[in-house]
Amino acid sequence: MRNGRRLSDQWADAVVVRPRTGEHHLAVHRRLVLAFALSILTLIVVTTVAVLLSVRSEDCNATQGSTAAGGAGRSNGSRGDRVDEDEAHQPWKRSRLPGTLRPRHYDLDLSVHMENFTFNGDVSVELECLNATRYIVLHADRLDVTSVSVSSDSSTSRRSGGGLLRLHRHFLFPYNQMLVVVLHRELRPIRAYRLNVSFQGVIEDELLGFYRSSYTLERERRYLAVTQFSPTHARKAFPCFDEPSFKASFSLTLRHSAHFLSLSNMPPDGRTPDDRTPDDRTPADRTSDREALDGENGWVTVRFARTPRMSTYFLAWSVCDFSFIETHSGSGVKIRLYARPDAISSGAGDYALHITRRLLGFYQDYFQVQYSLPKLDLLAVPKHPYAAMENWGLSVFVEQKILLDQDEASASYRMELTMVVVHEICHQWFGDLVTPVWWEDVWLKEGFAHYFEYVGTDFLFPKWNMEKQRFLTDVLHEVMLLDGLSSSHPISQEVAQAADIDRVFDWIAYKKGAALIRMLAHVMGQNLFQRGLNDYLTTHMYSNAARVDLWNKLSEALRWAGRQVDVQQMMEGWTLQMGYPVVTVSKTDPPHLPIGYVSISQEHFLYAQEVGAGNSSLQWQVPLTVALGNSSSISSEHLIWIHNKTETHLIGPMDGDTWLLGNINQTGYFRVNYDLDNWKLLTQQLLTNHQIISIGNRAGLIDDAFNLARAGLLPQGVALQLIGYLPVESDFLPWHAASRALYQLDKLLDRTEDYTLFSDYVLKQVASRYHKMGWPSNAPSNTPSNTPSNNRSVMKASYQTEELQREVVMLACSFGNKHCHRQAVSHISDWISSNKNRIPPNVRDIVYCTAVSLMDEDVWEFLWMKFHSSNAVSEKKVLLEALTCSDSSFLLSRLLNLSLSSELVPEQDLIDVIIHVGRNPHGRELAWTFFRDKWEVLNARYGEALFMNSKLIGGVTEFLNTPKELEQLKEFIQASGAGAGPALQRALEIVEGNVRWLRLHHHQFYQWLRKAPDANMASDYAGR
């Protein structure tokens, strides 16, 4: 599963930091508490009724049998069962399923009524009894259970009625989303049984379980229905054992109107016309009259082939009227991409289909494990709670992450889309074939899929250099921002309540998971890492595995090569402890170190360290790589393991000009600090010949320096001085790292008095590169858009150059370069006057935003109109975000209100609108007020999908930085009743940090800018 997010967004939207104490028991969703209260009440009523009923039916219960068991709580038990000591155990009261029974196979028949968005179904589960029990406890949520029966003969067809067992009662227990069946007699170990349940439900409007969505084609509204079961929503579509370790096979049969087609994990065995009325439950295998299909309201029955053993959460189906395009992988897997007919005919699916075909081959080679199913469908839906979901054989994507209009899409849109596809295909192995035992280790699948986004994209486009470069800024630097908060949490975290499960899908799981896996891959070396993964996948295929299983396989691979590294011992420090260390390497402290020696110490890195928030007991096994360099060369790296708080190591001969560099290419998940003398030597090196230091290390030095300064561990001037070499930097990544740091500072400073000191400084750094590179050339208008993507691949050699050009233009325009502003204005004027958009897609967001902020209201109206008329999903998003750049509070308010109340703005985009208004200094207060005023509406709308809610909270609050705003946030947390919410807790810590930085450091920061060390700069600023 992948969250959809722009790469440039700074603070993660997904991170919901869990309280580290037992507080989470208090944090249970209020609705659940209410549900619990209600269920207790129901239980009391039900038990009373049951007791009364069983007393009355005392004389006739023997003849009733299990078939009489009806709705929830109805009892047909005998008096002897009424007060049963076993019920004292009440296994449904526990949040996890009891391990007494295991499902082996599900036969699931569903009739889908698209005309009124309901479904009814029968599920028949073959169960294996492991321990004697009278209770069958499984999951069911929001379902109306109409009948339940249990038979002793698992092989008997569920409709034959053979071997029925007498039921005591069955009931729903909503608090734990469970269905409980109580039997008269115990089920016996080793024997197999069959549970049959009939049920009905609603195809929801919410994006969970089995839900509906729609699109417009030729002014006609058309509907589709699709599932989203991860992590805990399969239970909303059929009663099932909805925990990942209860793997079983599934045979699905769908009945629906012949106007639609249906898809599932497996290919259909057959589609037969069907003349039965939907409620007629005669045997499904009866061959119907072929002519029935010809009728206007004909129904069809589609039976899908039996799946391999799998978890419930990646079972999937869809009923829709889409078209498809098709290809085959090298090994003969049929790959199809399904989407709206107009998207298919315009070629918007071609690119994703093409890369998927290549990726299947890549992963099969890399893992040395074949793809397991005969087909793979990619389904593009208009609405989805995440970017995509990796259902085995039927991966579902939101349109913006899989459809690509060749002429409209920017390079970053294409890159994001590519990575989402790479991610989901990786899950076909990591997640679907081998599944984490429980959600506490969700990072085992998400960390891998996220890491492979970079490895797999490198395979597709080697020149992008994703794993070596882009990974640093987009994953490592980003997650270290979050994991440096004291409200962070360990990557493996306890998950007790159902409500906690959504919370584990956060950036810590995804990005820290990926960063730790990358660190381990580099420590092991590529070949051994691959060997270990292959062993892990083949040993645990069609089953589950825990992190220890992975550590064991990786240790074995190392032992095979004669290396004795206990991977478990090494990795537990990184996975069971929160945060990460800052490693300080010093030649001068303590004084009088023997020649060639350095002291190396490790300490828990926290932004609030300066106010004593660090946890001094935390310690890691740190694989620190170091190299020595001077003005003309750098030594090869060597690895030092750091186990203790402070160690002394022999590094080699160092004279006064020798600098030392740690964490080579930033493969390690930690920061490195040095003595000030070493920082000075490194800074001088960058100024005189920066290419001695690798691109990755240049970006790493910039990120470390700015963050160490933010935490008060380094003087502010050291970081600013370090980027003094940027005018000569011609590679994208160091610029990207610097601009991330500068935007972060910009948002802290943009309402301070001396702001222009800062913006002038940035413009000075950018000017020469901006003039050297200029703007990208105009987009060709009227290029045929249906050219096959594989022939006109945009993956040009100049990709890095294009990205750098974009970065520099963005910096220039946003910090106020006049030439840049004129260019943007002329681009928009050209569009308005010619009604042809010739603006290069790569800079459209910059042009639109700049024009909206500089030009009058007509431009805003023009883009608003274009937003409505555009059909290209990527373009729509860019236009909407540009509307948030206005200086006018009137327009911003209008946009916020329209986004909330009208259907004009898609529901999932409202959050982005609010956040982007908040990034605009003219809109910050407006967005913050709007957020608080509308909190109840917003929370009701997005509260269920925690991902969205925490993205909203994080986005709206991250740049609040005045003591007044901090007070307002505290008041809001108090008053909103959501005080214990982890996203709010995190927001509070970030805002406190902002306020603290401004109080402690911003004077020092401006002071440095006022007497900037560069002679040119000093004279430039002399007159101010």
CB of 505 to Zn ion, least distance (A): 8
CB of 727 to Zn ion, least distance (A): 40
Q: Sort strands 638-642 and 167-173 into parallel, antiparallel or unpaired.
A: unpaired
Residue 1 found at the interface with Zn ion (CB under 5 A): yes
CB of 478 to Zn ion, least distance (A): 17
The answer to whether residue 958 is catalytic is no
CB of 75 to Zn ion, least distance (A): 44
Q: Nearer Cβ to Zn ion, position 24 or 401?
A: 401
The one-letter amino acid at 492:
S
| Type and span of the H or E element at 689 | helix 676-689
Q: Nearer Cβ to Zn ion, position 454 or 607?
A: 454
CB of 734 to Zn ion, least distance (A): 30
CB of 108 to Zn ion, least distance (A): 25
Q: Nearer Cβ to Zn ion, position 523 or 946?
A: 946
Q: Nearer Cβ to Zn ion, position 431 or 724?
A: 431
CB of 1 to Zn ion, least distance (A): 4
Number of residues that bind Zn ion (CB under 5 A): 4
CB of 597 to Zn ion, least distance (A): 45
Strand order in the sheet with 268-274: 144-151, 192-202, 118-129, 101-113, 249-257, 299-304, 268-274
Q: Nearer Cβ to Zn ion, position 61 or 908?
A: 908
Strand-pairing partners, residue 335, are 327, 376
Binding segment for Zn ion (CB under 5 A), chosen from 327-335, 392-400, 441-449, 590-598, is: 441-449
Task: Count CB-CB contacts under 10 A for residue 454.
Answer: 23
CB of 422 to Zn ion, least distance (A): 11
CA–CA distance, 579 with 561 (Å, rounded to integer): 31
Strand-pairing partners, residue 124, are 107, 196
Nearest to 893 by CA among 866, 928, 869: 928
Q: Nearer Cβ to Zn ion, position 454 or 815?
A: 454
Q: Sort strands 268-274 and 220-228 into parallel, antiparallel or unpaired.
A: unpaired
Q: Nearer Cβ to Zn ion, position 443 or 732?
A: 443
Strand-pairing partners, residue 602, are 583
CB of 411 to Zn ion, least distance (A): 23
Token pair for 801 = 């150059």
Q: Nearer Cβ to Zn ion, position 207 or 872?
A: 207
Binding segment for Zn ion (CB under 5 A), chosen from 83-91, 113-121, 446-454, 581-589, is: 446-454
CB 965 within 8 A of CB 926: no
Binding segment for Zn ion (CB under 5 A), chosen from 16-24, 187-195, 440-448, 638-646, is: 440-448
Q: Nearer Cβ to Zn ion, position 2 or 512?
A: 2
Q: CA angle, corner 62, sides to 61 and 65, nearest 5?
A: 85
Ranges assigned E (strand) in 240-305: 249-257, 261-264, 268-274, 299-304
Considering 424, 807, 881, 958, which one is annotated as catalytic? Answer: 424
CA–CA distance, 663 with 671 (Å, rounded to integer): 8
Residue 2 found at the interface with Zn ion (CB under 5 A): yes
Alpha helix segments (H runs only) across 839-962 = 844-854, 857-869, 873-882, 889-901, 907-919, 924-933, 935-942, 946-957
Subset of 958-987 contacting Zn ion (CB under 5 A): none
CB of 360 to Zn ion, least distance (A): 17
Q: Nearer Cβ to Zn ion, position 315 or 938?
A: 315
Please state, in angstroms and as integers, the Cα–Cα distance from residue 728 to each residue in 308, 476, 517, 735, 940, following that order: 57, 25, 34, 11, 51
The 3-state DSSP composition of the chain as helix, strand, coil percent (nearest 5) reads 50, 20, 35
869, with CB counted inside 10 A (0-12, 13-18, 19+), is exposed
CB of 204 to Zn ion, least distance (A): 22
Task: Count CB-CB contacts under 10 A for residue 695.
Answer: 21
CA–CA distance, 302 with 290 (Å, rounded to integer): 14
CA atoms 764, 766, 772, 775: torsion sign: negative
Residue 928 phi, psi (nearest 5): -65, -40
Q: Nearer Cβ to Zn ion, position 181 or 449?
A: 449
Token pair for 18 = 């869990």
CB 232 within 8 A of CB 138: no
Spatial neighbors of 757 by CB under 8 A, at least 6 apart, are: 1006, 1009, 1010, 1021, 1024
CB of 984 to Zn ion, least distance (A): 26
Please state, in angstroms and as integers, the Cα–Cα distance from residue 469 to each residue in 9, 456, 726, following that order: 18, 14, 17
Q: Radius of gyration (Cα) for the chain, nearest Å?
A: 30
Binding segment for Zn ion (CB under 5 A), chosen from 214-222, 442-450, 535-543, 980-988, is: 442-450
Spatial neighbors of 572 by CB under 8 A, at least 6 apart, are: none
Q: According to CB under 5 A, which one of 310, 337, 449, 519 is a site residue for Zn ion?
A: 449
Please state, in angstroms and as integers, the Cα–Cα distance from residue 257 to each residue in 788, 942, 1014, following that order: 34, 32, 74
CA–CA distance, 675 with 253 (Å, rounded to integer): 68
* Cα 528 from chain centre: 28
Token pair for 949 = 């809610």
CA–CA distance, 353 with 240 (Å, rounded to integer): 33
Q: What secondary structure does DSSP assign to 738-756, as a single string?
A: HHHHHHHHHHHHTTSTTHH
Q: Nearer Cβ to Zn ion, position 148 or 449?
A: 449
CA–CA distance, 113 with 278 (Å, rounded to integer): 8
Q: Nearer Cβ to Zn ion, position 431 or 662?
A: 431
Residue 401 found at the interface with Zn ion (CB under 5 A): no
Q: Report, as residue numbers or ranges, the catalytic residues.
A: 424
Residues lying near Zn ion in the complex (CB under 5 A):
1-2, 446, 449
